[in-house]
Each structure stands twice: as C-alpha cells, then as structure tokens.
Amino acid sequence: MLMIGTTVAGELAFSNLREAVAGGQGQVKWGYTGKEGPQNWGNLSPEYQVCQAGLQQSPIDLQQAINANLSDLQITSQQVALKIQNNGHTIQVNTDPGNTLIIDGTSYELIQFHFHHPSEHTVENQFYPMEAHFVHKSKAGNFAVLGVFLKEGRENAALNPIWDAMPSQKKSEAPILGSTLEISALFPTDQSTYRYFGSLTTPPCSELVKWIVFQEPIEASKAQIEQFRQIFPLNARPIQALNRRFLLSEE
Ligand SMILES: [Zn+2]
C-alpha cells in the first residue's frame, strides 16, 4: 500500500487530506458545476492535480468484474451518537469510535459517512438515485470506503434520525440529540461486494482508497430521496477511467 511521506511536504499533504476527508472540502473552493466543477478540479489548485492526472480515480462504472475469491469483511458495528453537518458538498454524519472494518488483515475505523445524489458509481452504466459512503481510516492513514447504493422503495427507518436533522443550508457539526444509530442498519443483507483501488471522489482526489461497494442496494422512499435532492440536486463526480486496474467481485 501507499506509504505516507515523512517529509514536511508529505505531512502537510496528509494533514490537508485528513481535513478534506473529515470536512468534505479541500483548501480551495470547488463544486459540481461550472468553473469549479469536476472537469476543472485539477486546475483549481496544485493540491488537486491528481484529480486530473491520476490514473486510479473514482468513481468508476462497475462492469465486467473479475470473479474472485474475496476475503471476508469483518464489520464490527455498534450504536454510536451521531453528529451531522451540511458541509456545502454533502450531508455528512461524523461518528464516534466503535465501528471497525477489518479487511485483508488491516483494521479501519469508521470516521464519517455521507451521501451522494445521484450515485457516483454506476453498474453497467446505470445510476442509482443515491449512494452512501462509509469512510474508514487505518492507523497508517489509508482509507477503506464502503459504498452502499440507495434505490427507491420503502421508507428506510434507519435514515429517519439523519433525515429529520438534515440541515438544508451549510452548517457546522451539531449532535443529533437523543439519537443513536447501529451503523449496520444501513448495510444490505447480502454481503457480496465489488472491490478495487481508487481515490477520494472529491478534491484532493487522493489515491489512497480501498473501495468496497455492496452489490445489493438498500431502499429509501421517494420522499426521502426527494428531500436530499432538494438540498443537493447533483453532488456526484462523473465516472473515471478504469485504466490498468482490476475490478473484482464475488458470486
Ligand atoms: Zn463520497
């Protein structure tokens, strides 16, 4: 895996990265449309160059996956207090320690999850209405992100505490009082996944991410999806080239 640099520049880049992941934004303003949009991210700041120059970018279209004997996901989930923010790019829920993902012998801690409309990954060029990203970080500073598609269906009760507290305008972190959530309530029953190596889907687009995307979507009601869409009509980065990577999946 990628080593975190020990130089001053490396440390600086890493602290910016942590801020980016924690706050959903880099140092320089970016967006999803116009001059600040994804086509220009690589030109907005030297820190964002990899958004344009990188060859392991995310999201990608999930198709023609290689069937592989993938290692099990060991997910430890418990009820944690929730803190919610609208960071101007998404609705993000910051989580206290206690939810871990062990994959391929490395332990990652859940630090936050957030939502995109429409989905960022596609399956054979088809979008889902939404996608949730559960961002896990290892002690070494690498990321494992669990992606969960949301399709239109029944109301999802596990989303309600978040949806009820969702700020429609940019707003700093605030606790969702009286609410805890068992995170795994937002994961599908079927644990089959797609896996590949990629990047953050927002600037600085760092290529430090082990992507694990569940094949089975969870459901959200039309009204739940509409409530998010009203706030973020479009907060999904376009599909990136697979290049020389392998997309793996399991039966
Ligand atoms: Zn995301």
Task: State in Å: Cα 64 to ligand 1 middle.
Answer: 23
Binned at pLDDT 50, 70 and 90, residue 27 comes out as confident
Residue 80 pLDDT: 87
Q: How far is the CA of 224 from the centre of ligand 1 (A)?
A: 18
Bigger pLDDT: 177 vs 160: 160
For residues 68-94, give the mean pLDDT: 94
d(CA 133, ligand 1 centre) in Å: 5
User: First vs last Cα of the chain: how many Å apart?
Assistant: 26
Q: What is the pLDDT of residues 222-248, one digit of tens each?
A: 999 999 999 999 999 999 999 999 999
Q: Where do we find the tokens 């959200």?
A: 220
Distance CA 204, CA 45 (A): 9
Query: How many angstroms separate the CA atoms of 32 and 17, rounded?
Result: 19
Instruction: Give the pLDDT score at 81.
Output: 87
> Is 185 inside a domain boundary?
yes
3 assigned to some structural domain: no
Encode pLDDT of 114-167 as tens digits.
Answer: 999 999 999 999 999 999 999 999 999 999 999 999 999 999 999 999 999 999
Domain assignment present for residue 30? The answer is yes
Domain count within the chain: 1
Going from the Cα of 36 to the center of ligand 1, the distance in angstroms, rounded, reads 18
Structural domain contains residue 2: no
Give the distance (Å) from ligand 1 centre to CA of residue 144: 12
Domain that residue 129 falls in: 8-249
Which CATH number is 66's domain given? Answer: 3.10.200.10
Cα(51) to ligand 1 centroid in Å equals: 15
